[in-house]
Structure 1
Amino acid sequence: MQSFAHFSLFCASNLRVMKKNIAIFASGSGSNAENIIRYFQKNDSVQVSLVLSNKSDAYVLERAHRLGVPCNVFPKEDWIAGDEILAVLQEFRIDLIVLAGFLIRVPDLLLYAYPDKIINIHPALLPKYGGKGMYGDRVHQAVVAAGEKESGITIHYINEHYDKGDTIFQAVCPIFPTDSPDDVAKKIHALEYEHFPLVIEKLLNEK
């Protein structure tokens, strides 16, 4: 395990015991992660307590560090086993795990430890354009190539299979014949920023 930010697990756990705690898993830039962190900074009962990544150069780590959220990087072998990651999640009393541009499979150990408490956002209307390898620009390119008239976002629980978990929420945007994949990406990002924090908050309030 490579530690990106130094933190005291004892202190962090005590500070967070009264609030519901979110952990974000991310592999890339982290714009969705930052949006979620900023949203819950104003919340008295929920906070983003931890950001974990599989890439030491992921810009999401810089965003988290700048916003004062503890973050760690775990190598591939730890993501396969899952036990070290689970230990950190338990230390931080995590109530919900949010995948925000996380590109590797969540280990079974975490799926069993957090049933119906791990959610993902997919940049299309599942079950269309889902599955292994379908993420980011690949999805938008496929949507445009197929001549789709609409696309959107799907927020869903995760299970052992890529993009097969139960749907929690979908939002739709129109796709015009003149739209490029970049145009579609901008529409999808707008939906993500608008809806993802709200859905997370609603889920935590219901639990």
Structure 2
Amino acid sequence: MLKMAVLLSGSGRTLDNFHERIKEGSLQAQIQVVVSNVENVLGLRKAEKYGYPAFHAKDNDAVNSILKDYDVDIIALAGYLKLYTAPPHLKKAVVNIHPSLIPSFCGDGFYGSRVHKAVLKRGCMVSGCTVHFANEVYDEGPIIYQQAVALDYDETPDTVADKVFAAECEAFPEALNRVAARGIEFFWNRVQG
């Protein structure tokens, strides 16, 4: 079972999903702590309501100072909108989700509706999400799991976002379960280069 820290910046929709799946037994994880880089966000209030220790931390050093007090073996970036640098012992244990099928529509500046607008501008008929390990470059760590969604000709950025978020709710827990089953090193060792 994974012992997880959740980093967020907003409403905590992904935290809601994790919490519900842990309660029903379909996510093999325990949330140890929740940290936000934004003060007083809804996600922190939800964390407190669920009974998780919840903190605001303005930068990497502050986040890592909090994490050192918790038994954590994986860090889930759940809508965390800053580039995060983990402490050395957790460097390979940071998992992120991106709202496209990497390597398309990813990297610095590609987040939220910007991704969905770019997908539509290109005329794509498929989008989706990618759960991957994070490194020091946006969206370049090893891929754990991807889930595609079909798009119609009359999509808007909002309808694409809704479809992709529904996929994210399935994909992120599935990816974490795969990490729990196979271990972190499996995913770092399976990619070349």
Answer whether TM exceeds 0.5 for this pair. yes
Q: Structure 2 length as normaliser, TM-score?
A: 0.87
Structure-2 residue corresponding to 1:51: 34
Per-residue deviation, 1:112: 2.6
Matched-pair contact (CA < 8 Å) for 2:8–2:80? yes
Any unmatched runs of 5+ in structure 2? 184-193
Q: What is the CA–CA distance in structure 2 between the aligned matches of 1:175 and 1:113, rounded to whole Å?
A: 40
Q: CA contact under 8 A between 1:41 and 1:47: conserved in structure 2?
A: no
- Candidates 41, 44, 52, aligned match of 1:69: 52
Tell me how far apart the structure 1 counterparts of residues 82 and 160 of structure 2 sit (CA, whole Å): 24
Among 82, 93, 102, the alignment partner of 2:80 is 102
Which of residues 149, 161, 176 is equivalent to 2:152?
176
Residues 64 and 87 in structure 2, CA contact (< 8 A), matched pair in contact too: no
- TM-score of the superposition, structure 1-length normalised? 0.82
Structure 1 45/191 Cα, relative in aligned 2: closer, same or farther at 3 Å?
Answer: closer
Quick one: which amino acid aligns to residue 61 of structure 1? L
Note the residue ranges of structure 1 that are not aligned, 5 or more in a row: 1-18
Question: What residue in structure 2 maps to residue 31 of structure 1?
Answer: 13
Rg comparison, structure with higher value: 1
Per-residue CA deviations over 1:50-107 (Å, capped at 9, x if unaligned) read 11110013211121111111110012xx32xx2x432422321101100011110112
**Aligned match for 1:93, one of 66, 71, 79:** 71
State how far apart, in whole Å, the 1-side matches of 2:3 and 2:20 are: 14
SS at match of 2:17: helix
Q: Match for 2:29: what amino acid? A: V
Equivalent residues, number: 182
> Which residue of 87, 90, 93 maps to 1:114?
90
Check 1:57–1:145 CA distance in 2 against 1; reply closer, same or farther (3 A cut).
farther
Q: Is the 8 A contact 2:28 2:176 kept in 1?
A: no
Specify the SS of the correspondent of 1:94.
coil
8 Å CA contact 1:28–1:59 kept in 2: the answer is: yes
| Greater mean deviation of Cα atoms: 110-119 or 98-107 | 110-119
Partner Cα separation in structure 2 for residue 113 and residue 122 of structure 1: 24
Root mean square deviation of aligned Cα = 1.7
State the identity %: 32
Written as runs of structure 1 = structure 2, the 5 A alignment for 1:13-28 is 20-28=2-10
